[in-house]
Amino acid sequence: MFKSSIKGKKVAILATDGYEQVELTEPKRDLEKAGAKVDVLSIKPGQIKGWDKTDWGKSVKVDHLVNDVRPTDYDALILPGGQINPDKLRTDRNAVAFIKQFVESGKPVAAICHGPWGLIEADVVKGKTVTSWPSVHTDLKNAGAKWVDKEVVQDGNIITSRRPEDIPAFSKKIIETLAKTPALAKAS
């Protein structure tokens, strides 16, 4: 499905309980198929539980706590949506600081659905053209972003998408962007 190879790239997915299940699992699967190593970061250890449309879904293993890693450890960051997950993350100072530092690094940061709430809290959307779940558009406008209704939007290093149905386009854009960026220098 995805022609680009991103072998050797490291991607972080930042989430906590209540992430929209497919918005974490499908991009993770797509990136791994394209050759990336994907770590799940969270604000709590162990496992985090997904939300599957109308009820609790499956859990995924947390690889690292967000305060134990740095943006320099990764080539890209993904922020899945769901209503619960990004709302919890935007109240965690370590998660918000990580998002802000990642965006400021110039490396790709991709957020889907309600995931842009983290970008708003990190104060990094002013002047950016973005998309999101429709109910988040006023929050984005109030934060100084230009909101558009498209399946995927890229403005500089920020990639945004609207909903689970847009995941194929979302994953494709992340992979294409990662394929164009150099891999992290290996630490000696």
Least Cα distance to 181 among 8, 15, 3, 1 occurs for: 8
One-letter amino acid for residue 51 of the chain: W
Query: Residue 184 burial by CB count (10 A; 0-12/13-18/19+): exposed, middle or buried?
Result: middle
113 among known catalytic residues? yes
64 among known catalytic residues? no
C-alpha span between 122 and 186 (Å, rounded) = 28
Give me the count of residues in the chain. Answer: 188
Q: Find the catalytic residue in 11, 60, 76, 113.
A: 113
Helix (H, G, I), strand (E, B) or coil at 52: strand
- Cα 53–chain centre separation: 19
C-alpha span between 158 and 174 (Å, rounded) = 10
> Is residue 44 a contact partner of residue 59, using CB atoms and an 8 Å limit?
no
Q: Find the catalytic residue in 28, 88, 107, 114.
A: 114
Least Cα distance to 136 among 94, 176, 79, 92 occurs for: 79
Residues forming the active site: 113-114
